[in-house]
Amino acid sequence: MTNPPTYNVRCLLASDHVDATSGYAVQARLIALGLRKHCHLALLSTFGLHGSIQTWTDHNRLSVEDGIPVFPGGADAFANDVIGKAAKAWQADVIITLKDALVFNPQSFQGFRWLPLTPCDHDPSSPQVIERVRQSYRPIAYAPHGFRALRLAGLDPFYAPHCYDPKVYYPMDRSEARKLFQLPDDLFIVGTVAVNRGGLPSRKTWVENLQAFAMFAQDKPNVRLFVHTDLADEGYEAGIPLRPLMASLGILDKVLFCDQERYRFPHMGGFSQDYMRHYYNSIDVLNAVSNGEGFGIPVLEAQAVGTPVIVGDWCAHEDLCFAGWKVAKHEAHHWYDAQQAGWVYIANPVAIADRMEKAYREGSPVVHARQAIAGAAPYQIDTVIRDHWLPILAELERDIKTPKSRGVLRIIRREEVFTP
């Protein structure tokens, strides 16, 4: 770095490799690019890099001199065995982890300030997550729901929401966007961008969402569902086999799929952000109803280009629907997630189908586009860095100069809990 950073804070950011395609990787890349001039920054890849230390130049967009050091992962799936070593080598003041806090061993951060940038995707929150976060120096919430949940638990979180790059996600002419996929203008397209992992019940409520589309589409020859996910075909059973499920519902001929090899093997090309911009601009509505989200990047990206969304009115999505339709809590079943000892919601397919019908009958592209873009604007990367990350760095710099204890606050009364 040619000039000294704004703040004399040495940060190690641990997450998926910044060139990977996961949601964590996309956010890690944006944060790294936004913070690199404001602190002494190094990265640690919990996924996507093994071997020796590298210098990341964002595909040569940065000079080698301005590049960011990247420490490789270790034998542990989440780099618990090497986090402390990398932090010591970097002489880090703070370690920021962008992953579920439960995957990290607090012993890995001994001698360092651990700031978990972690999801809160249960309602109410998982006590396991809360207790793990209590062992950190100070958590960072990345959605208003998470901020409120951590405050209710008596913690004092920072707040730095997930973000998007407006140079990547912006409105396009729908007809032009659809040319990439050879889609006619007269189709009404419901989009879904969601992972397909694990068994039932699916966190992304695949069964309920597909049931809902079947109800919605049964008398409409001009509707299609465009899914961006792994179909879990034979030999690639990462999640629920979706083709047989779609066939059983009689909708297989109404579903469009992304290229499965590109999806499963992102290191062989994957899907560019340009592709995803075209995708979001091509669909009429994004259906993103799930059991619970810590944030939900596709909801933000879709609205950034002006596309309305359908979401569940719980967890992070209760604050992130700027244009679209919500499924209410009373239209869902409150279900106990025994694995994390927290509660989630499973939406009634009838309610999801009703919101698809509303999008089909009542959708107003111009009005919804204006509302969506305006709502997404505060989440642009430059705004998030300026309004949230730089104040965090400033406070960390003060804490480093004048150490003070962090952790559990006094018990915060419910009326004191607020949205950042």
- Which pLDDT value is given to residue 265? 78
Mean per-residue pLDDT, 287-292: 97
Q: Cβ contacts of residue 13 below 8 Å, gap of 6+?
A: 28, 31, 32, 35, 41, 42, 43, 44, 96, 98
Residue pair 178/282 in contact by the 8 Å Cβ criterion: yes
Whether pLDDT at 121 is above 80? yes
Examine residue 415 and state whether it is found in any structural domain, yes or no.
no
If asked whether residues 218 and 295 sit together in one domain, one would say yes
> Vertex 96, ends 95 and 100: CA angle to 5°?
125
Task: Assess if residue 414 is contained within a domain.
Answer: no
36 and 121 in a single domain? The answer is yes
Considering all CA atoms of the chain, what is the largest pairwise distance in Å, rounded to the nearest integer? 67
Q: Which two tokens stand for residue 80?
A: 């618990």
Question: Would you list the DSSP string of 13-51?
Answer: EEEE-TTS-SHHHHHHHHHHHHHTTTSEEEEEEEES--S
E strands present in 203-307:
223-228, 255-257, 285-287
Same domain, 349 and 287: yes
Rounded to whole angstroms, how far apart are CA atoms 193 and 188?
17
The 10s digit of each residue's pLDDT in 155-200 is 999 999 999 999 999 999 999 999 999 999 999 999 999 989 887 7
256 and 368, same domain (yes or no): yes
One domain, residues 353 and 279: yes
User: Based on the domain organization, do 394 and 374 belong to the same domain?
Assistant: no
Does residue 256 share a domain with residue 216? yes
Name the amino acid, one letter, at 129.
V
The pair of three-digit structure tokens given for residue 91, joined into one six-digit string: 């002489």
102: pLDDT strictly greater than 80: yes
Residues 130 and 217 in one domain: no
CATH of the domain at 214: 3.40.50.2000
Q: Which residue has the higher pLDDT, 416 or 85?
A: 85
Domain ranges, residue 400: 10-163+380-406
Contact 168, 277 (CB under 8 A): yes
Domain check: are 120 and 178 in the same one?
A: no
pLDDT, one tens digit per residue, over 237-273 is 678 999 999 999 999 999 999 998 888 876 666 788 8
Nearest to 315 by CA among 143, 195, 158: 143
Q: CATH number of the domain that 59 lies in?
A: 3.40.50.11930
In this structure, are 187 and 78 located in the same domain?
no
Per-residue pLDDT tens digits for 370-410: 999 999 999 999 999 999 999 999 999 999 988 765 544 44
Q: Residue 374: inside a domain, yes or no?
A: yes
Please report whether residue 418 resides in a domain. no
* Dihedral (Cα; 286, 291, 296, 299), 10-degree rounding: 20
Q: Does residue 105 sit in the same domain as residue 242?
A: no
Contact 9, 393 (CB under 8 A): yes
- Residue 1 within any structural domain of the chain: no
Q: With 90 as the cut, is the pLDDT of residue 91 above it?
A: yes
- Across the chain, what does the average pLDDT equal? 92
Residue 186 in any domain: the answer is yes
Token pair listed for 207:
């069964």
Is residue 149 located within the same domain as residue 219?
no
Domain count, the chain: 2
pLDDT at res. 263: 86
Of the pLDDT bands very low, low, confident and very high (cuts 50, 70, 90), residue 9 is very high
